[in-house]
Structure 1
Amino acid sequence: MPGPIDLHAHSSVSDGTESPGELVAAGVVAGLGALAITDHDSTAGWDQAIAAAAGTGLELVPGIELSTQLDYASVHILGYLVDPADADLVAATAAIRSERLHRAESMVRRISVDYALSWDDVLAQTTPGATVGRPHIADALVARGHVPDRTAAFQTILHWQGGYYRPHEAPPPVEGVRLITGAGGVAVIAHPGARGPQRVLSDARMRKLVDAGLAGIELDHRDNPPASRAHWSDLARRFGLLTTGSSDYHGAGKPNRLAENTTSPEVYAAIVARATGSRPVRG
């Protein structure tokens, strides 16, 4: 397959700034061979992305980034090529999106005591059907002039120690892996070197994830520092896990750029061979 393979990108269906169609167009401009759309807890952008990929030569990989939680730490599980109609997955993602919405509303109420910010301000930063979360609150804070950009919002007002933060409920990682594999998908831990996963994913807990069907670890990612990559690379070897690389692209929402980290063709082929829920779509 010509072109790099980027297996982690977001559209405006979750917290990216580009529509699914615009995300695909960005992938084409970046010269990608394959691109995964992995919106948070939603497959609602798949159809638009698939339609946009038609005739481009880009291979679109339908996916999802499932929210899970362990010891109050957020652990995200990428699910590639799931069946979007799987009843258990549909029910779980609907519940997670509802919880995300209530959490966001609660945080806005707290913030509005000290800053001029309303729920309508947040909704103005979303698209219909989007998974509403902290990034949309950040965009509303930017629009109101309280912070210069999303990064500043997350470093100050939206920081977990900022006084306005509220944790959200989500299934444990083992259940997330089971949901993805039960829907015929391939489960990969997203950016495990980030603060939350690095803190809570011990070897013993990783064994439970592997036993539940975990297939891989997103190793090459800007949130995994070099020392962390060495740890997770060794763990992947010991547990026989695939290792991927991805950008975690969010359009203008993050500095991450498409193809800044990529997945090897061999690992990508192994993911596709393992999946039974859906297939990549060649544009």
Structure 2
Amino acid sequence: MAQTDLHMHSSASLDEEISPRGLAERCRQNGMTLAALTDHNSVEGVAEFMWRGAQLGVRTIPGIELDCMEHGHNLHILGYGLDIADQTLKQALHEIRALQTQAGVRLMDAVEALGIRFEREQVLEQAKGGIVSAEGIAASALQLAENQQHPLLRPLLPGGELSDRPLVNFYWSVCAPGKPAYQPVDFPSAGQVIDWIHAAGGIAVLAHPGASLKNGTDVDAVLTLPLDGVEVFTRYHNAAQTAFYLEKTQQKGLLVTGGSDFHGRIKPDLEVGDIDFSGMESKAREMLLAALD
């Protein structure tokens, strides 16, 4: 278990239920000494997380995880040390949420068109900020007996090959790019997102590239962006991928970071601090803190 976790989500994200305060307490329980809250397209939980972290003696960093598009890939860019009150950033987040709200309605229609039933009103009531997530649809659909024999849902049910993470696996098997219910969102470019982070005084880090850039496709092109670092150490990378991205990152002279991508119930196998830094934790955190000073 590491003492540094730079990628975690609270209830300010669409797909998590633990409060920012509760997450800070979990960090303390798990022995974190440096932690960053990086909710999806939101900084709403940062102040509460940092306030509680300070009370508990956990050093905290304001953060965010922004969706963007680049070379046909949906990428995630982590921002650290940014001013969460920056007006340009706040306006950008408002616009992104509007896009997600529209896409959520289309997503519900697309899932229903596949013959998957769910309680639409229930999903809408539980949607955070009015933004419907695939995981929210799944939580409703998997409870209905009429869906038990649906071929797309059977693998997600107890005993199925995707039952270890049924909610997030519903997204990957039904709603992700290339899947039958996929609904594209016109997210900003990676370059624009990086500009927003820099303008807000933060540093920009490419999140879990092995999960976004399959088999290293377009890695060199993406790394020409004005990034400050790459999330090398993550459970999404196997040993070969970790070595590959570490070499690429060091060649570019970029920061090396790591995080659990803790999400609570939708990714129950990911725990706060569950990161293998391959003996580089101290160096990674020292470089990050120096960059933030």
TM-score in same-fold range (> 0.5): yes
CA contact (8 A) 2:127 2:133 kept: no
Report the alpha carbon displacement of residue 29 of structure 1 after superposing the two structures with TM. Answer: 1.4
Give the 3-state SS of the residue equivalent to 1:163 in structure 2: coil
Residues paired across the two proteins, number: 269
Post-superposition CA distance 1:116-153 (Å, at most 9, x none)? 224423234444x4864333333333344645421441
Q: 2:217 matched to 1:218?
A: no
Give the CA RMSD over aligned residues: 2.3
Note the C-alpha offset of 1:11: 0.7
On the 8 A contact 2:3/2:32 being kept in 1, the answer is: yes
SS in structure 1 of the partner of residue 55 of structure 2: coil
For residues 206 and 46 of structure 2, the distance between their equivalents in structure 1, rounded to whole angstroms, comes to: 21
Partner of 1:183: 200
AA partner of residue 93 (structure 2):
T
Query: Which sits farther off after the overlay, 36-45 or 23-32?
Result: 23-32
In 2, distance between residues paired with 1:122 and 1:71? 33
Q: Which stretch has the larger CA shift, 39-48 or 261-270?
A: 261-270
| Structure 1 residue 13: Cα displacement | 0.8
Higher mean displacement: 222-231 or 56-65: 222-231
TM-score by length of 2: 0.83
In 1, are the aligned partners of 2:6 and 2:37 still within 8 Å (CA)? Answer: yes
Among 255, 258, 265, the alignment partner of 1:242 is 255
Residue in structure 2 matched with residue 274 of structure 1 by the alignment: 291
Q: CA deviation at 1:235?
A: 1.0
CA distance in 2, matches of 1:130, 1:201: 34
- Cα distance in 2 between the residues matched to 1:155 and 1:46: 28
TM-superposed CA distance for 1:98, in Å, is 1.4
Alignment of 1:130-141 (within 5 A): 132-141=132-141
What does 1:226-265 correspond to in 2, within 5 Å? 226-254=239-267, 255-261=269-275, 264-265=281-282
**Ranges in structure 2 where 5+ consecutive residues have no aligned partner:** 148-155, 158-165
Partner SS, residue 156 of structure 1: helix
> Could you list the runs of 5+ residues in structure 1 that have no partner in the other structure?
277-283
Partner of 2:51: 51
- State whether structure 2 residue 11 is matched by structure 1 residue 12: yes
- Give the TM-score, by structure 1 length: 0.86
Counterpart Cα distance in 2 of 1:49 and 1:104: 28
Higher relative contact order (CA 8 A, sep 6+): 1
What is the identity, as a one-letter code, of the residue corresponding to 1:246? Answer: G
Counterpart CA distance in 2 for 1:195 and 1:72 is 10
* Seq. identity, %: 29
Distance change in 2, residues 1:234/1:98 (3 Å): same
1:225 shift after superposition? 2.5
